[in-house]
Amino acid sequence: MKTLTTGMLGCVLLTSVAQADVFVSVDAKGSYVLSNVHRPGRTYERIIHEPQSSLVDLDQQPQMIARQPYAELVSAAATAHELPAALLHAVIREESSYNSDATSPKGAGGLMQLMPDTAREMGVKNVYDPKANIQGGAKYLKRLLTLFDNDITLAVAAYNAGPQAVLSRGGVIPPFAETQRYVPSVLRQYRRLQGIAVDAPL
């Protein structure tokens, strides 16, 4: 197994947010594949194990989730698309800081910053309508999770950089500065809303 750099190890530590265990493998091109999902047919080394007792179920954090902006709309979308409400909140906070009128320089709009093509594909007619935007963003995020075998880290990376950017690199976080910053930030928010201290021992 090759030696992980400090930056890569930091990404590994953050992936433990999504699951208790984090695995690393090396693909045919020598690239590291970091995953919180142990896929059949691949050889992995488990490099982080977090006791299940240190993880807090989302059901134990209703007050924290309920205090977030748009809590009812997020809860409804999470239920409809079988997603953790905490994950949707984490993405919204990173994408728009809960500003439903936000527009990016690239043309993404609304709470979950849907690009025009993505919005149309998800059936969202008005990206600045909070309910429609959250439902569309949740639908898209669920699609990405399905595409990446429920690997939250890769799905979040694909939400930012696009699924092709992740797929074309063999299932690793793209080396874009924005994406490298975005993924850990979303996962930290996700962890916080789960009631797990960001600096808790791994």
Q: Tell me which residues are annotated as active site.
A: 95
DSSP secondary structure letter of residue 125: S
Q: 29: phi > 0 → left, psi -120 to 50 → alpha, else beta; which?
A: alpha
Residue 25: how many CA atoms within 13 Å on its side-chain side?
14
DSSP-derived secondary structure for 21-51:
EEEEEE-TTS-EEEESS--TT---EEEEE--
Tell me how far apart the alpha carbons of residues 156 and 161 are, in angstroms, rounded to a whole number.
Answer: 9
Tell me how far apart the alpha carbons of residues 42 and 50 are, in angstroms, rounded to a whole number.
Answer: 21
